Amino acid sequence: MRRLNFVTTRAEQRKQTESRILTAARELFGEHGFDRTTVRMVATRAGSDPGLVMRYFGSKEQLFAQAAAIPTDGTIEGTPDEIATHLTAALAGKLADEPVTALAALRAMFTHPEAADEVRKAMTAQQRQIAGQLPGDDALVRSGVIGALTLGLVISRHLVKLDGLDVPTEQLTAIAGPLIEELVTGSRPVE
């Protein structure tokens, strides 16, 4: 591709191109999923060439693996109350703006077995990690429900675009926060 920048070394050029391809791939995998995104589409959006995509990333599969990594929340520790706060904050982050990288993995996981495995692994790990610090013998189930609630909200808002959820993030966390707290502590609401 004819570069417009004035001074760029070959190595920089290469890095920039790889980066443009990766960005385009992330966006497109997130928009259309794995199967409906073609190498040609990625190359075109990156202002590049299908052959170059293959040369740099090996295969469409490997390109996807690099583009659709699942961001983890990291270790969450503390008292149940602190955990609840942390989880609610993490949820807020996921609801705030479109998590492009995660969307690719989310979209793909329903048709792409490897992507599904990765989502499962990521969710299972976090779920176990959290459950270990929660009271109650059904802690694992409850932390699973937290994961399900989070997943459901992210999908409903960003993928389904359910119009009832098209409200400020704070309003959603104000509603979901207490639910998470309840799931973390294992307490029941008093009616």
Partner DNA sequence: TCTTTCAGTCTACGTGTGTTGACTGAAAGC
Partner DNA sequence: GCTTTCAGTCAACACACGTAGACTGAAAGA
Q: Which of these segments, 12-20, 39-47, 61-69, 147-155, binds its own copies (CB under 8 A)?
A: 147-155
Q: Which does 4 bind (CB under 5 to 8 A by kind): its own copies, DNA, none?
A: none
CA distance 115 to 24: 19
CA distance 155 to 147: 12
Residue 102 in tokens: 């995660």
- What is the closest distance, in whole angstroms, from the C-beta atom of residue 32 to its own copies in the complex? 7
Does 96 bind its own copies (CB under 8 A)? Our answer is no
Residue 166 CB-density burial (10 A; 0-12 exposed, 13-18 middle, 19+ buried):
exposed
Q: Which does 188 bind (CB under 5 to 8 A by kind): DNA, its own copies, none?
A: its own copies
Pick between residue 60 and residue 112 the one whose CB is nearest to DNA: 60
The residue type at 121? K
What residues numbered 72-91 form the site for its own copies, per CB under 8 A? Answer: none
The answer to whether 176 and 88 are in contact (CB under 8 A) is yes
The residue type at 115? A
Does 191 bind its own copies (CB under 8 A)? Our answer is yes
Token pair 């692994």 is found at: 121
Find the binder of its own copies among 159, 169, 170, 184 (CB under 8 A): 159
- What is the closest distance, in whole angstroms, from the C-beta atom of residue 79 to DNA in the complex? 48
- What is the closest distance, in whole angstroms, from the C-beta atom of residue 160 to DNA in the complex? 25
